[in-house]
Structure 1
């Protein structure tokens, strides 16, 4: 298992793993129309290039053997999807392909986010998780995250609720 920082040169691979993991995770609970609308908006190449170019956002691949098994996106400052202040780091995306789950890769990606938060002198890490994603909620609770709020997330024009979960580092 290796964690590798993504660059603009990785945008095509990032798009592929983003679409694959998001689809695997949410296709059962969402209409194809809503899912496809989200994929086109969130993971088009121009959008991903803008995100990769933002100095306050960082993407990392997790490799299992030589294969890209998943990825992590973290944000600080004004790149955060909610106004959480300069002392916060957001884990915006943490996804592992189904074929590579149960190997501890999600835990390794979360550990990488925590390392980055400490390196950047952040006092808390936060993330949004779909209120119906019981496995992810349980995983984050086990890692010391607590629910501190909620916000809307749109899958196409379908409004859903993400729980905001936070972990203090000090």
Structure 2
């Protein structure tokens, strides 16, 4: 079974490849190649991943299998949209699993690791943005206890897309995750 671990600087190159491959695999068929290329160039390059691994406001978790990385999650602690009412919110910025590993418990294990990290760092609410046309991810997040609290615009290249903002309280937290309101921001 693959192991979940914290990314190190040496993981930037394989993480970059996995991040781009999973993003393209998830969203490529529904978007233009120009918009996909533009987004991938500004979000998943090796230098970008290296910077995100080093960023103290972020944590990158990797799911490492025998043949390399099979999934990852990236967490952020630098604010939240207005629709997420929390004293100390944390964001799941990205959570992706390689196609060959779908349905094998990797996403659930990554989500459990995300929740543990959020709780350990004092977050009271976890939030994320998910494309409105990604029913599989929406169903997964609902199964994990997330509810819709708002939406925001995610610019994919030159195409403004609607992301649903979902949130859930951390176990033991009494935080209200807030009413549904439109916000600005985006799906990385």
TM over 0.5: yes
Partner of 1:161: 162
Counterpart Cα distance in 2 of 1:19 and 1:54: 20
> Secondary structure at the residue paired with 2:145?
coil
Q: Shift of the alpha carbon at 1:18? A: 0.6
Which residue of 2 is the match for residue 14 of structure 1? 15
1:44-87 Cα offsets, whole Å, 9 max, x none, are 233222212111101111123342101110011x2x57476651
Superposition CA RMSD, Å: 1.5
Deviation (angstroms), 1:142: 1.2
Separation in 2, partners of 1:68, 1:47: 18
Structure 1 spans left out of the alignment, 5+ residues? none
What is the TM-score when the length of structure 2 is the normalising length? 0.84
Does the CA contact (< 8 Å) of 2:127 and 2:167 recur in 1? yes
- Aligned pairs for 1:5-154 (under 5 A) are 5-76=6-77, 78=78, 80=79, 82=81, 87-154=88-155
Q: TM-score, normalised by structure 1?
A: 0.93
CA distance in 2, matches of 1:82, 1:70: 26
Gaps of 5+ in 2: 174-188
Give me the whole-angstrom Cα distance separating, in 1, the residues matched to 2:31 and 2:58.
Answer: 28
Output the CA distance in 2 between the equivalents of 1:4 and 1:163: 28
Distance 1:44 1:156 in 2: 15
In 1, are the aligned partners of 2:80 and 2:89 still within 8 Å (CA)?
Answer: no
